[in-house]
Copies of this chain bind each other. A is one copy, B any other.
Amino acid sequence: MAVGIGPLPRLHPVPGIRVGVACAGFKAPGRRDLVVMALDEGAHSAAVFTGNAFCAAPVTVARDHLAGGPPRFLVINSGNANAGTGTQGIETALQCCDLIAAAAGCDRTQVLPFSTGVIGEPLPLQPFRDGLPAALAALAADGWSEAAHGIMTTDTVPKGASLQTRVDGEAVTVTGIAKGSGMICPDMATMLAFIATDCAVAPDVLRRCLDRAVADSFNRITVDGDTSTNDACVAVATGRGAAAVDSVDSQAYEDLSAALTTVCRSLAQMIVRDGEGATKFIAIDVQGGASEEECRRVAYTIAHSPLVKTAFFASDPNWGRILAAIGRAGVPELDVSRVDMSLNGVCIVRRGARAGDYREEQGAAAMQAPEIDLCIQLGRGRYRDYIWTCDLSYEYVRINAAYRS
């Protein structure tokens, strides 16, 4: 069902990081479900984690370990989220780190664990015991594509993006993979993203770079408004290339920031395009607000309205539902007689009512496209914000009603 996602592009190796994948038995036999990333000495990492109070055990452990110093291994299992599993879940996540530490001769705190899959089932340790030797033996610079497959759950396509560019004149590679289908789908506890570059970046600078990239990518997508217990986005800078970024006040920072943002935006859009049951990719651009915040609120209110989403699914230019969503977004003293709306270039609403020259056939034709640009003009200021979302189809209900049965 994925909307406009091509085959996985070539994912360039990033010097200083090796990736290994195995079929460990978390998912059905023979399915890739265990990924190990080995980071060479000198690599720095930064991460953004879910804000959900019921965060999964691996999130708690990874956050804790990352605070202690640079990790040497990331280990990801798909098929079980190790969420809602209490203290036993924490213990299992730590034991998984121990297994890698023992095999690789590092400390358990140098391993960051990640899990994605069903919530609330105890995470078994045995598949780690069974699969880790194979995953470690498979470690290779060109393992990214395998890993993109290995972290999938309800995803219908693997997601990866890779860029070779220059930072302050020096060549750098940025490669990333992600999984998620639904911005966030708590029971297949969703979004994970791993992005690496061979640029040398100080830890605090890397963190700033990642925050900025996430703000313009993963934080702009919504499928169903739910926020997962397991969300994590990790950036690794191995320092093996010629480029270096020492401070945020530099051209090098701007260059790296742009490259990281490009890769993250590409991955984020793929998550929406592969949103559960998605048949349309919708970019909502709200302009003319008195603040960015109110533009964002309008955009999210539209994107989360089940009525708007089902109208997109039906290719029905039911603009009344969109107006109603704008009207209840809580914009203070909104003057509706200044609101305009266009859809793929067709002006539907002008000054708060149906545009005089608008014909239903135009809207119906515009709605047929699998990619929709919805533009709202609030007419009350100079601010703007945008997000990406998808429609709500029968398939969404089927996937989420049938998943565990």
Contact indicator B323/A229 (Cβ below 8 Å): yes
Instruction: Assess whether A398 is interfacial by the CB under 8 Å rule.
Output: yes
Write the chain B residue with the least CB distance to A310.
Answer: B400
Q: Which of A314-368 contact B (CB under 8 A)?
A: 314, 316, 318-321, 323-328, 331, 334, 336-337, 349, 351-354
In the complex, A398 Cα to B398 Cα: how many Å? 13
Q: For residue A225, which residues in chain B have a CB less than 8 angstroms away from its CB?
A: 304-306
Contacts of A51 in B (CB 8 A): 328
Given that A53-B334, A318-B187, A405-B314 are known contacts, is A353 also in contact with B226, CB under 8 Å in the complex?
Answer: no
Chain B residue at smallest Cβ distance from A332:
B53
- Do residues B401 and A314 form an inter-chain contact, with CB atoms below 8 A? yes
A405 and B316 form a contact (CB under 8 A): yes
Q: How many Å from the CB of A376 to the closest CB on chain B? A: 12
Q: Is A224 an interface residue (CB 8 A)?
A: yes
The reply to whether the CB of A186 lies closer than 8 angstroms to some CB of chain B is: yes
Q: Whole-angstrom distance from the CB of A387 to the nearest CB of chain B?
A: 17
Determine whether the beta carbon of B318 is less than 8 Å from that of A404. Answer: yes
Whole-angstrom CA separation of A85 from B337 in the bound complex: 11
Q: Determine the distance from Cα of A401 to Cα of B394 in the docked complex, in whole angstroms.
A: 9
User: Contact residue range for chain A?
Assistant: 35 or more
How far is B55's CA from A127's CA once the two chains are assembled, in angstroms?
57
Q: How far is the CA of A331 from the CA of B349 in the complex (A)?
A: 38
Q: Is A163 an interface residue (CB 8 A)?
A: no
Contacts of A187 in B (CB 8 A): 307, 311, 318, 320-321, 324
> Residue of B at shortest CB range from A227?
B328
A397 CB within 8 Å of chain B: yes
Q: Are B400 and A320 in contact (CB under 8 A)?
A: no
Q: Which residues of A, 33-55, contact B by the 8 Å Cβ criterion?
A: 51-55
Interface presence of A169 (CB below 8 A): no
A88, A311, A337, A353 interface centre (most CB from chain B within 10 Å): A353
Q: Does A206 contact B (CB under 8 A)?
A: no
Q: Is A83 interfacial (CB-CB < 8 Å)?
A: yes
Cα of A186 to Cα of B308 in the assembled complex, Å: 9
Question: Interface digits, A4-25 against B, CB 8 Å rule (1 contact, 0 not)?
Answer: 0000000000000000000000
Whether B118 and A320, one on each chain, are in contact in the complex, defined by CB atoms closer than 8 angstroms, is yes
Contact A401 B313 (CB under 8 A): yes
CA distance A100 to B304 in the complex (A): 41
* Bound Cα distance from A307 to B120, whole angstroms: 15
Contact B404 A316 (CB under 8 A): yes
Contact A323 B54 (CB under 8 A): yes
* List of B residues within 8 angstroms of A326 by Cβ: 53-54
Instruction: Give the residues in chain B near A88, CB-CB below 8 Å.
Output: 353
Residues of A bordering B, CB below 8 Å: 51-55, 81, 83-89, 118-120, 182, 185-187, 189, 224-229, 304-307, 310-311, 313-314, 316, 318-321, 323-328, 331, 334, 336-337, 349, 351-354, 392-394, 396-398, 400-405
Return 6 A-B CB contacts under 8 Å, by A number: A53-B331, A83-B320, A314-B405, A318-B403, A392-B397, A394-B401
Beyond the given A54-B327, A187-B307, A307-B400, please list 15 additional residue pairs across the A-B interface where CB-CB is below 8 A: A53-B331, A81-B320, A83-B324, A85-B353, A86-B351, A118-B320, A187-B321, A225-B306, A226-B324, A313-B397, A318-B403, A392-B397, A393-B397, A393-B401, A396-B397
